[in-house]
């Protein structure tokens, strides 16, 4: 007989790997990491201890982290592995019930040969987070078990850069416009609201309003920051800053910031004043414009109807809201609101503008040169030219005008283009002398507007 002494070592090949499969993430959004623990050896290993953690944001301590209490863990087992040691619920391939915890500490799992488990951790990255996000995990092998490669028993994923995104809402309004007693100028107050709808905090938001309209006196300008709920309509209760509005500030998630801008007009302003504020934050650029009337009077009308007396639940219903300006002045920046009742679902709306028809001229007393009464008037179909038949000192005369047909401040204005007098050659144009206008009665355009 012969004998030999053999030492049997229980050896396996365990490893852990953590990853989020991403290089960027957005603060304020949900984000996930997976922690995979494998047994690539040939020996069953029970009670493998797993420690894994996701960082929790703490101002000034941990800049890149999750919202505490938002992290949930679930585990899926494969090839007979057990997410929880010493249980019969193993290798079923379905996730365990979620567990809320910032870390997994000494969590025991069972790993037969050639099996693995996958833990998925999902949480909300804090909206204030910045820098690079990281997560680490490590496993501890039970006593008496030898691991073929201990170097892969810990893992770190630290290559995820946080890139903030924010939906910034910008709203500028004219609070008041008032004449100054004993002066020829007006005093204007504007409000500028900025709101951060998230998901991330916005650092270094820049707002500017150069007050570039030529009828605004920049030297008189000042601005201030006021609480949104204060109801302030000017800077009298704040500490205003002199000059055109220019501010840089931070907005946390869901924060709304209000500024008031005060400025005088130049002496004797007229028409309209245009004022624009601009917002810049990283790649985000927005602007909002307020167009205001100086003086004037208007009669605005609004109607709202669906054209029916009954409606069937579950079917679509259409309302038509019509806003009209009956003049006499143009109106800029009029606001229309409609608070839809909760009985209406999936509401959407569109808007179409109907400007005055350029051809609609109906003045029975249109005056010619010297205030003479107009005998006839006609406009081209496109509204760009107007022809007027008048009598000047008893001589029949045809006046031709160009007309501004672009809606806006100068819409409808006439500019004299040409005058044709019966039987008189006009050296200013190359056309023939107009004749045959003795005792004119009316004027008409040919079918091709010639």
pLDDT per position as a tens digit, 335-353: 788 888 888 888 888 887 7
pLDDT per position as a tens digit, 378-392: 777 777 788 887 777
Dist CA 415 CA 438 (whole Å):
26
424 bridge partner residues = none
Q: Residue 95's pLDDT is what? A: 86
Domain ranges of the chain: 11-162, 166-293, 297-354, 365-450
Dist CA 163 CA 135 (whole Å):
17
Angle 214-218-224 from CA coordinates, rounded to 5°: 135
In the CATH scheme, what is the code of domain 166-293?
2.60.40.10
Contact indicator for 407, 382 with CB cutoff of 8 Å: no
CATH of 11-162, one of 2.40.50.100, 2.60.40.10, 3.50.50.60, 2.40.30.10: 2.60.40.10
Both tokens of 212, joined, read 């570039």
Angle 139-143-145 from CA coordinates, rounded to 5°: 80
Contact indicator for 373, 367 with CB cutoff of 8 Å: yes
With bands split at pLDDT 50, 70 and 90, how would you rate the model's confidence at 367? very low
Q: Residue 10's pLDDT is what? A: 58
Contact indicator for 374, 389 with CB cutoff of 8 Å: yes
pLDDT per position as a tens digit, 98-148: 999 999 999 999 999 999 999 999 999 999 999 999 999 999 999 988 888
pTM of the entire predicted model: 0.67
Whether 371 has a pLDDT exceeding 50, the answer reads no
418 bridge partner residues = 400
- What percent of the chain clears pLDDT 70, i.e. is strictly above it? 88
The set of residues, in sequence order, having a beta carbon less than 8 Å from that of 63 and lying 6+ positions away, is 57, 129, 130, 131
Distances (CA, A) of 62 to 128, 161, 163, 351: 11, 14, 16, 49
Domain pair 11-162 / 166-293, same fold: yes
Dist CA 71 CA 32 (whole Å):
9
Q: Residue 7's pLDDT is what? A: 65
Contact indicator for 169, 194 with CB cutoff of 8 Å: yes
Whether 369 has a pLDDT exceeding 60, the answer reads no
Better-scored residue on pLDDT, 311 or 286: 286
């Amino acid at each position: 007989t012969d004998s030999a002494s053999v030492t049997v070592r229980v050896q396996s090949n365990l490893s852990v790997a953590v990853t989020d499969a991403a290089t960027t993430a957005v603060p304020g959004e949900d984000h996930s990491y997976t922690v995979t623990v494998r047994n690539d050896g040939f020996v069953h290993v029970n009670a493998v201890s797993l420690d894994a953690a996701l960082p929790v944001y703490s101002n000034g301590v941990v800049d890149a982290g999750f919202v505490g209490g938002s992290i949930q863990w679930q585990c899926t087992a494969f090839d007979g592995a057990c997410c929880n040691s010493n249980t019969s619920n193993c290798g079923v391939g379905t996730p365990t019930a979620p567990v809320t915890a910032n870390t997994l500490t000494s969590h025991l799992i069972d790993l037969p040969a050639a099996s693995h488990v996958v833990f998925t951790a999902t949480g909300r990255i804090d909206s204030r987070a910045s820098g690079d996000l990281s997560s680490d995990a490590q496993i501890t092998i039970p006593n008496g078990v030898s691991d073929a490669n201990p170097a892969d028993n810990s893992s770190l994923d630290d290559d995820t850069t946080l890139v903030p995104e924010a939906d910034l809402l910008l709203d500028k309004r004219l609070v008041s416009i008032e004449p100054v007693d004993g002066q020829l100028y007006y005093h204007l107050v504007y409000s500028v609201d900025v709101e951060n709808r998230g998901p991330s905090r916005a650092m270094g938001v820049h707002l500017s309003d150069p007050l570039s309209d030529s009828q605004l006196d920049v030297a008189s300008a000042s601005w201030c920051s006021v609480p949104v709920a204060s109801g302030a309509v000017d800077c009298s209760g704040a500490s205003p800053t002199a000059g055109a509005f220019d501010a840089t500030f931070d907005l946390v998630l869901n924060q709304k910031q209000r500024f008031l801008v005060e400025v005088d007009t130049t002496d004797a302003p007229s028409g309209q004043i245009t004022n624009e504020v601009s917002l810049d934050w990283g790649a985000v650029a927005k602007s909002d414009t307020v167009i205001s009337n100086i003086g004037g009077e208007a009669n605005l009308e609004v109607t709202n109807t669906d054209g029916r007396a009954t409606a069937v639940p579950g079917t679509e219903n259409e309302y038509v809201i019509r806003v009209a300006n009956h003049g006499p002045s143009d109106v800029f920046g009029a606001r229309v609101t409609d608070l839809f009742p909760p009985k209406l679902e999936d509401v959407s709306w569109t808007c179409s503008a109907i400007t005055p028809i350029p051809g609609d001229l109906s003045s029975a007393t249109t005056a010619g040169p010297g205030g003479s009464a107009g005998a006839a008037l006609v406009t081209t179909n496109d509204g760009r030219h107007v022809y007027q038949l008048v009598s000047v000192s008893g001589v029949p005369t045809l006046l031709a005008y160009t007309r501004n047909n672009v809606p806006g401040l100068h819409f409808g204005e006439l500019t004299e283009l040409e005058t044709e007098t019966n039987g008189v050659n006009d050296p200013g144009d190359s056309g023939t002398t107009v004749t045959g206008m003795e005792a004119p009665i009316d004027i008409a355009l040919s079918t091709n507007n010639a």
